[in-house]
Every structure is written in structure tokens, then in C-alpha cells.
Amino acid sequence: MTLPIRNVAIIAHVDHGKTTLVDALLKQSGIFREGEDVPDCVMDSNALERERGITILSKNTAVRYKETLINIVDTPGHADFGGEVERVLGMVDGCILIVDANEGPMPQTRFVLKKALEKGLRPIVVVNKIDRPQADPYGAIDKVLDLFLELGADEDQCDFPYLFASGLSGYAKEDLDAEAVDMQPLFEAILRHVPPPVGDINKPLQLQVTTLDYSEYLGRIVIGRIHNGVIRGGQQAALVTENGNIVKAKITKLMGFEGLKRVDMEEASAGYIVAVAGFADANIGETITDPNEPQALPLIKVDEPTLQMTFWVNDSPFAGQEGKLVTSRQVRDRLFRELETNVALRVEETDSPDKFLVSGRGELHLGILIETMRREGYEFQVSQPQVIYREVNGQPCEPYELLVLDVPADAVGSCIERLGQRKGEMQDMQPGSGDRTQLEFVIPARGLIGFRGEFMRMTRGEGIMNHSFLDYRPLSGEIEARNKGVLIAFEEGVATFYAMKNAEDRGSFFITPGTKVYKGMIVGEHNRPQDLELNVCKTKQLTNHRASGGDELVQLQAPIDMSLERALEYIGPDELVEVTPQSIRLRKMAKKLAKR
């Protein structure tokens, strides 16, 4: 018997609580047995997602409610992972838009919502976190309506249903003053407002590949929605590839989704989201179809990358000491393997066999790839991110971003001044909650490179910064780069407390005493605009004279912690970030150093 189906995506800005809301839906659907240990943010299964508290990969689950199978797709809220969003929206017939009752819609809400509206989806709006202080649920609804109108939503989309909820407390309700018990009102809203999938089971099979997975036992597993026809385990099928070739194969395994698990199925019909094994070379966007009547679905269109950087084989003096996978062939194979699942990424080979040009959606998108590779044992180095220019109507253009800042009132002036120097144009300024102000800017993407570190210093770590791609506009002219030089190690050795203490007045260090350094390695930031080479390995000359006050406790200033993202934002055009499984180092390019 075929169950009634609803396919729905959950979309929201980062940290507005969508993964927590999915947790509540899963727990109340009865898929977990009593007493089972269920972690928080159960859909964020990737180690990096758990560490950073963000969703990076789109994932789907399925629950049953009143004999209806509800497929729920959890999507990333960050615009850098828009490729994940674009490919899964074709699997669903409706979406739940979650907004924070305090913040309302934010830049990434705009990005994901625009994609959903373009697909003709009619969102159900859930105002989340209504139990928090300073929440303004009705204000959030008004802001959502303004955003819908701004994005060109049609009349039907603007007449959206809305609910109030607290994902953490596990309840939803249609009336703000009503007693809230559980998530039942949201389940009912899904049944009422999300249309059942359209598709004809009598037509030839068409299944579009939207996600790839791998199993040691089954090989490559493709996940996608059946648009037409019926699929059966063990049947012959054909894959229509991106270039139109037809590859025939047998479906060795057919699986559906039940909660967080995959369950074996004998057959599935139009509307179902299934996992299929048997196609070793299938790629995202391709179609599994009837071998007798092969009919391809339109390929998934993904926005082009806006940022690129060069991946180099590590050639520093410490190369090969910490990583297992260090050769150009290993790095190349890993980058091209990433293309199979990461639809928004581009990799190009260059004139040099040791360099690869990698393009992505933003610093976070590329940073996650770099962090994943270093955890897998790769060792390499990367250049400063550069924006990708394009020609529009014969005119050279560059990507622009919509930037929203939430800052303490005393930091407003310095933020406006600094963004003005980076060609940012202020669009709006609104009082935020408490003693805070919300600023909105349109700024060239290259104006944001390296800004996050400055922003954190200007707001003493209290500022919140969000941005998303807007469009391509004419070039905005020269933008002032980093206004301070760097401290460069003079020779190879081990940094000493004595040398660093003597050089402390020259700037701020990125390293601590005992760190191994080499000639050309960047060890700190200079107080002045020029670069400065210094000897951080110098040792104190020992004599038999005891220095007056020598026993006093002397301390160094705390070093600046250079995380991967901060290092990528910080480096200049003649500098590299050396990435190994154990270390993140900054260095000058060898040829640049030789000229000095």
C-alpha cells in the first residue's frame, strides 16, 4: 500500500533553531524507542557541524504522522553552502521558513527564501524562540511579509500560514495566547498546506540524483526523488549522464527513509525520496530512468562561485613532517573527488602540476573543505582568497554582498568609518535590542576579505556579522588592503622567550615560546605598515653575573590565536597559509622573500 506523502524542506538563517526544531519533530513522531539516548541536533551528524553548531550538508529524514509519510530535508542556513540548498529544493513540494522571534529574517534567510520562491514553493512561516526575552513575534511576521514583497513573491505566497514555536521546549501553536503542548499544530500545518507530490506512476521512471553517499558494502549510493514511474529493487535501469550518454545498470539495493535510518524497500513510486545502489558513476543532477524509454530531467542549475584560491603542494622547510598525504597527485585526486558531491565547487588545473585553482561560494565554503582535508591527513598550502570578476553587458563587474551588522552602540561610528574605507554603502540603520544597533550595507565581496578580525576588535567580540551574495555590479575601484605589516622569522630554529620578550614592542605575536619556526614564516603582526624580519630564536648569553631583578616573574602578552578562517582572512597577496593535520602556519611566498 502506498502511503500519502509530504516532502518539505526546512530553511532558515544560521542559528535560528531549525535543527533543534527538527529534533522536536523527530522526538514527538515516535521514531525513537523509549529510553533511547538521543543527542541534541541529531541531524548535524558531521563532526565539523557539531563543533561549529552549523548545518553544512543537506540531510533528509522521514517521520509518520496520521498514516502520512513526511520527508523532512534539513538545509544549511549559510549562503556559502547555497549549492546544498539549490539541489535539494527540487525534491520537495513545500518548505518551512523558520525565523527568530527577536531578530526576524536575516541575510541568509533572504538567500534561501529567494531560491524557494523561485521554485514556486509556498512557505509555512514558523516564528521560533518565542519564549526568549525581548522576543517580538508579530514584529518578526511583519518583517517576513516585507521580505516576501521585496523578493517578488506572488499573491498566494504572500498569504502565508504562520505558527509560533519554541524548538527547544518542543511546542508550536497557531495562536500566541493559546496553551502550547507539543508539535502537533506544525504537523497539521504540513498536512494542510504542503501539497502532495505530483508525478505519474504510469509514466516511465525518472529519478533525479540530488545527494551522493558511499557504503563499503554497496559502493556509491544515490539519493533523490522519484518524479515519475515506479522503481523496484533488482530491476534494470539507465543513467542519463550530464553529457547525454546512457549507462545501463541493475538496481542492486533500494532503500527508503524511516526516522534517521534507511530501510529496505521492494518498490517505490512517484513522490518518494529513496536511496539507490548500483550506479557507480552517477553524479548530482543526472537522471535514473527507464532503459527502454530514457528521458532525462533538466540538470540542477547552481549559482556560480564568487571566490577562488590556489591550493599548492606544501614546499615549506617543514614539508612532509606532519601530514601523510602530501604529493600533488594525492591533493589533485582529493580535490576532484570533492567535485562529485560538492556541486558549488570548481577545480581547475594550472600550468604548474603543483597548483590547483579552487573556486567556491565564500571563505567559509572553502575553509570547510580545507579543514576537512587536513583532518583526513592532507598537507598543503593555500593562497589569499580572490574574488572572481565577470563581464556583464560588456562591462567588468565584481560580486557584491549584503552585509548586516548587529553591534553595541559605542562601536557604530568605527564600523561605519571602516566599511566606508572598504567601499561599503550603508542602506539602513535600525535600533536593535537593548543598547545595540543594526546596520545594513552593500559592499564589494573583496571589501569583506580580512574584515572579520577587525570587526571583532572594534566591537570587543560583541558584534554579530552576517552577509550573503547580492549580485554582480561594476568595479568599485581600489580598496585599501591590510594596514599593518608582518613580523617574519629570520632563521630556522625554536622561538625563545628571551627573543620574543625583547621584540614585544615591535608588534603582536601569533606564536608562543617553544614553537618551531623557519626562515620566511610569519610569526606576528608588526605595529607599522612595513614587514619586519627578526630573530625570534635568539638565546640569552649566560654569564656568572646575577642580574638584578632576574628572578621576577616576567610574562609575554597572550598571542593572537590564528584559526584557519582567521588566517585565510588575514594573509596578503604575497603570503600563504600552510595547512597540516597538526598546524596552521602563515608564511611569505619563497620568491617574494628572495627579492627582499
Give pLDDT tens digits for 521-530.
999 999 888 9
Q: Which helix (H) or strand (E) holds 511?
A: none
Check whether 434 is labelled as a binding-site residue: no
- Beta carbons within 8 Å of 242's beta carbon, 6+ residues apart: 283, 285, 286, 299
Q: What is the pLDDT of residue 84?
A: 57
Beta 575-579 vs 584-588: how paired, if at all? antiparallel
Check whether 15 is labelled as a binding-site residue: yes
**Fold category of 5-193 in CATH:** Rossmann fold (3.40.50)
Q: What is the pLDDT of residue 52?
A: 41
Residue 520, Ramachandran bin (φ over 0: left; ψ between -120 and 50: alpha; else beta): left
Check whether 136 is labelled as a binding-site residue: no
Check whether 104 is labelled as a binding-site residue: no
Check whether 131 is labelled as a binding-site residue: yes
Q: Give the residue from 281, 275, 286, 276 showing the smallest Cα distance to 236.
A: 276
Beta 493-494 vs 516-517: how paired, if at all? antiparallel
Check whether 18 is labelled as a binding-site residue: yes
DSSP tag of 259 = B
Q: pLDDT band at 263, cuts 50/70/90?
A: confident
SS3 track for 519-587: CCEEEEEECCCCCEEECCCCCCCCCCCCCCCCCCCCCCCCCCCCCHHHHHHHCCCCEEEEECCCCEEEE
Q: Which helix (H) or strand (E) holds 25?
A: helix 18-28
CATH class name, domain 390-474 = alpha beta
Instruction: Specify the CATH architecture of the domain 486-544+551-595.
Output: Beta Barrel (2.40)
- The answer to whether 442 and 356 have CB atoms below 8 angstroms apart is no
Q: Which three cell numbers stand for residue 174?
A: 497557531
- Beta carbons within 8 Å of 314's beta carbon, 6+ residues apart: 320, 323, 326, 379, 380, 381, 578, 579, 580
Give pLDDT tens digits for 161-173.
888 888 778 888 8
Distance CA(62)–CA(84), nearest Å, equals 19
Task: Check whether 353 has a pLDDT greater than 80.
Answer: yes
Check whether 314 is labelled as a binding-site residue: no
Rg (alpha carbons) of the chain, rounded to whole number:
27
Q: Which three cell numbers stand for residue 278?
A: 548500483
Torsion of CA 136, 141, 142, 145, to 10 degrees: 160
Q: So where are the chain's domains?
A: 5-193, 206-289, 390-474, 486-544+551-595
Distance CA(337)–CA(330), nearest Å, equals 11
Check whether 19 is labelled as a binding-site residue: yes
Q: Which three cell numbers stand for residue 491?
A: 632563521
Task: Check whether 101 has a pLDDT greater than 60.
Answer: yes
Task: Check whether 392 has a pLDDT greater than 70.
Answer: yes
Give pLDDT tens digits for 195-232.
888 888 888 898 988 877 777 777 778 888 899 889 98
Task: Check whether 595 has a pLDDT greater than 60.
Answer: no
- The answer to whether 129 and 17 have CB atoms below 8 angstroms apart is yes
- Does 501 or 543 have the greater pLDDT score? 501
Round the average pLDDT of the chain to a whole number and report it.
81
- The answer to whether 579 and 595 have CB atoms below 8 angstroms apart is no
Question: What is 206-289's CATH superfamily?
Answer: Translation factors (2.40.30.10)
